[in-house]
Amino acid sequence: LCLSCCSVFRFILLTGALSLPAENCSGYRTCGQCLEQPGCGWCTDPSNTGRGQCIEGSYRGPFQTAVPAPSTLPGPTSSPASQPALNISMCPSDTKYNWSFIHCPACQCNGHSQCVNHSVCEKCEELTTGRHCESCISGYYGDPTNGGSCQRESLGMNMGQGLEVRG
């Protein structure tokens, strides 16, 4: 049900019938999560590992959402400043970046493995495991998605689990 809502939303965005206010896409760490948000697209970097960045945008490309410093002069020049502007250079395909808005690329190894045959994570490095190198190997913890790291589980971590720091 949610998926079909998203599809409808995406279709509306695709046809340009509605433009949503820019949302903060940068917190989404996988292409899958990113593309579930209407108004967010994924820019895969050239590493061939699926690593990338979730950015506000449309099917045409990423939007520049940083609001420029407000003009000191009052007048009509200040009003278009908040409008997000398409900027293809933020995900330049001529240098092997790849913008996705509807479907994620097949290669999704979270930055921890090269892809072979377009989609297979050849060997998950940096203490990661899983089909998409999305988990830490046993005995390590962390969030390895999108190039994140895994650390050794320390005794202190385990003992601190029941404690609360009050401030």
Ligand X SMILES: *[C@@H]1O[C@H](CO)[C@@H](O)[C@H](O)[C@H]1NC(C)=O
User: Would you give the binding string for ligand X spanning residues 8-27, x where CB under 6 A is met?
Assistant: ----------------x-xx
Backbone angles phi, psi at 27, to 5 degrees: -80, -15
Burial 131-164 (b: 16+ CB within 10 A, else e): ebbbbbeeebebebbbbbebeeeeeeeeeeeeee
- 117 lies in the site for ligand X, by CB under 6 A: yes
Q: Which of 105, 130, 147, 148 binds ligand X (CB under 6 A)?
A: 105
- 166 lies in the site for ligand X, by CB under 6 A: no
Vertex 40: Cα angle to 39 and 44 (nearest 5) = 150
Residues in the chain: 167
Q: Which of 21, 76, 80, 103 binds ligand X (CB under 6 A)?
A: 103
- Cα–Cα nearest to 39, from 72, 6, 74, 75: 6
- 67 lies in the site for ligand X, by CB under 6 A: no
Subset of residues 118 to 157 that bind ligand X, contact rule: CB under 6 A = 120
Q: Which of 33, 47, 87, 149 binds ligand X (CB under 6 A)?
A: 87
> 116: which strand partners?
120
Tokens of 87: 């900027």
Q: Least distance (Å) from ligand X to the CB of residue 44? A: 7
Q: Which is nearer to ligand X, 86 or 137 (CB)?
A: 86
Binding-site ranges for ligand X (CB under 6 A): 24, 26-27, 64, 87, 89-90, 98, 100, 103, 105, 116-117, 120
